[in-house]
Amino acid sequence: MTISKSSAPVLITGGARRIGLALAQSMLEQQIPVIVSYRQYYPAIENLADQGAVCIQADFSDNRSIHEFADKIKVHTAKLRAIIHNASAWLAEDPATPPEDTLAAMLQIHVYTPYLLNLELESCLRSQGHAAADIIHITDFAVEKGSKKHIAYAASKAAMDNLTRSFARKLAPEVKVNAIAPALILFNNDDDENYRRHVLSKTLMQIEPEEQEIVNLVNYILQSRYMTGKTLSLDGGRCLR
């Protein structure tokens, strides 16, 4: 499926690795301009830049840096085809870390960052026509189920999920706002076989779907001219176990 062509770029936060990188490469293959943010350097950054992507280093750990990043985007382009909020962190509660620090870190990346960027870049999304721009929040299946080991993480992703409906109401009909709530998509290289089997057993489909599943769903959302304010689950049936 090919996204309708637009000269306006797609902004992908956390676009240097894993899902964000796969999304950026997919857009570039479709000849869609791409801007990616990255917190730390990965070799893929050079490859993306060689393919024409604009790569901007950004640390969203405080609000000032979020505003500065938005200013850089507005200097680079007056219009955005979409914002895909993929930047994320997965912190568990840890006795060595004050719980308020864990919660603050999770809220910063999963709530303050999309909230402020959506507001700061609203003018870049509007005035392109009916349903001509998109915001996509990448949340988590834990929004519905919760998590006993990642309480702050799940709570922050739930807040991000709620932003989806509020911004959908605010920005319609020019901008569609939707969320994707994945469970397992891609294992880490250092995940051992016991862990992999345990996680796979939690889903009905029992596979590691990899990044293309997210890419396909993002393309579907960007193609739609009618769907907004929705959270699309991508959990392999985990919610039914």
Give the tens place of pLDDT for each residue, 56-114: 999 999 999 999 999 999 999 999 999 999 999 999 999 999 999 999 999 999 999 99
Q: What is the pTM of this model?
A: 0.94
CATH code assigned at 201: 3.40.50.720
Q: Is 38 a catalytic residue?
A: no
* Residue 3 belongs to a domain: no
* Residue 229 belongs to a domain: yes
* Residue 219 belongs to a domain: yes
* Residue 125 belongs to a domain: yes
Q: How many domains does the chain contain in total?
A: 1
* Residue 1 belongs to a domain: no
Domain range for 163 is 10-240
pLDDT (average), residues 131-145: 95
Element (H, E) at 155: helix 151-171
Cα(188)–Cα(66) distance, rounded to whole angstroms? 28
Q: Helix (H, G, I), strand (E, B), or coil: what is residue 94?
A: coil
Q: How many CB atoms lie within 10 A of CB 2?
A: 11
pLDDT digits over 6-35, tens only? 689 999 999 999 999 999 999 999 999 999
* Residue 15 belongs to a domain: yes
Q: What percent of the chain has pLDDT over 70?
A: 98
Element (H, E) at 153: helix 151-171
Cα(187)–Cα(24) distance, rounded to whole angstroms? 19
Cα(48)–Cα(10) distance, rounded to whole angstroms? 14
Cα(241)–Cα(211) distance, rounded to whole angstroms? 23
* Residue 149 belongs to a domain: yes
Q: What percent of the chain has pLDDT over 90?
A: 79
Average pLDDT over the chain, rounded to whole?
93
pLDDT digits over 179-206, tens only? 999 987 778 787 878 888 888 788 888 8
Active-site residue (options: 115, 153, 220, 226): 153
* Residue 154 belongs to a domain: yes
